[in-house]
Amino acid sequence: MKNDDAWKGLGDFIRSQRELANLSLRQLAEVAKISNPYLSQVERGIYKPSADVLKSIANALHISAESMYAQAGLLDEETEATPGHGVENAVRLDPRLTTDQKETLIRIYRGFTDRPASRQINSLPEG
């Protein structure tokens, strides 16, 4: 993924996380202490925010700065190299999940990552 594409992807990522958190653009901008027009422009890929701003947005969304930088293509690829195992391990170690829930999540995760790309987009697995 090229850097330019990463920045556009970052805007989409921020928007999706914001919507996931059920926040309006103005609410997130206020918590992150940036102007809402600027956040709108960042989400649409018009501007590349500084690392400071990325960190503020990450904190406001309660996600780690690291995952934000990774989304922006700002971490080394080797730093990102373990996430496949990371998701499965994190699920297995989570004390809040039952065994059945863990199996389900891992099955879904594997369904997403093992199928051909044409089957992935916007599709939930059966069941």
Between residue 33 and residue 52, which ones bind its own copies under the rule CB under 8 A?
A: 48, 50-52
At 37 the three-state DSSP class reads helix
Tell which positions 84-113 bind DNA, by CB under 7 A.
none
Interaction between residue 120 and DNA (CB under 7 A): no
Contact 99, 106 (CB under 8 A): no
C-beta of 123: minimal distance to DNA in Å?
A: 15
Q: With beta carbons less than 8 A apart as the criterion, state whether 30 and 7 touch.
A: no
Answer whether 54's CB lies under 8 Å from 68's CB: yes
Q: Which residues within the stretch 22-81 sit at the binding site for DNA (CB under 7 A)?
A: 24-27, 33-38, 40-41, 43-44, 46-50, 52-53
Contacts (CB under 8 A) with its own copies, residues 48-87: 48, 50-52, 54-55, 58-67, 69-72, 74-76, 78-81, 83-87
Q: Choosing among its own copies, DNA, none, which partner's interface includes residue 6 (Cβ < 5 to 8 Å by kind)?
A: none
Q: Which residues of 28-41 are buried (b: 16+ CB within 10 A; e: fewer)?
A: bbebbebeeeebbe
Q: Which does 33 bind (CB under 5 to 8 A by kind): its own copies, DNA, none?
A: DNA
Q: Which residues bind DNA (CB under 7 A)?
A: 24-27, 33-38, 40-41, 43-44, 46-50, 52-53
